[in-house]
Amino acid sequence: MRLLIRQLEEDDQRAGFDCGDETLNDYLRRFAWQNQVRNEIGVTWVAVEGSHPRLILGYYTLASASISRARLVEAGCSPLPYPEIPVILLARLAVGRRARADRVDTASAGLFSIPREGFVSGIMATSGRR
C-alpha cells in the first residue's frame, strides 16, 4: 500500500473516518475543513492510499501557537529576549481503524512525517502571516 500525505481537501471522504475516538472522528468530520479554510486556525494533513486518494486513513492537525517567556523561565529555561516564542502545536492526531486493520505501518509509511512543500506557507497562512 502506497501512502500519500497531503493537505485536507474539501471533497475528501471525512464522513467514513473512524479511529475509535468519537471526539477525533467528530473533529475531522465537522471542524477540520472549516478551521483550515474559514477560521484559519489549523492545517490538517491526511494520509490516503494512492489507489483511493479521497479515503482518509489517518490525519494530524497543526496550528501555530506560542509559549510565554515567563512560562519558559518557570520550567527552568534560560530567559530569552522575546516575550513569546513561536511554536507549532500538534493539535490532533488519529489513525483510522481501517489503516490499523490493514496493518499499515504508519510510522514507517510517513503518517507522522511533515511534508516540506507547503508546510511553512500553510502554517503561516493559519497564523495570519504570509
Predicted pLDDT at 100: 76
Predicted pLDDT at 98: 84
Rounded Cα distance between 95 and 25, Å, is 10
pLDDT digits (tens, 9 = 90+) for 54-63: 999 999 999 9
Mean pLDDT of 99-104: 68
Rounded Cα distance between 18 and 25, Å, is 6
Torsion of CA 26, 27, 32, 34, to 10 degrees: 70
Count of residues making up the chain? 130
Secondary structure (DSSP) of 73-129:
HHTTPPP-SSSEEEEEEEEEEEE-HHHHHTT--HHHHTTTS--STTHHHHHHHHTT-
> In Å, how far from its chain's centre is CA 92?
6
Class of CATH domain 3-126: alpha beta
Q: In the structure, what pLDDT confidence band is assigned to residue 121 with cuts at 50, 70 and 90?
A: very low
The whole-model pTM stands at 0.75
Rounded Cα distance between 57 and 90, Å, is 18
pLDDT digits (tens, 9 = 90+) for 107-116: 444 555 544 4
Rounded Cα distance between 56 and 8, Å, is 9
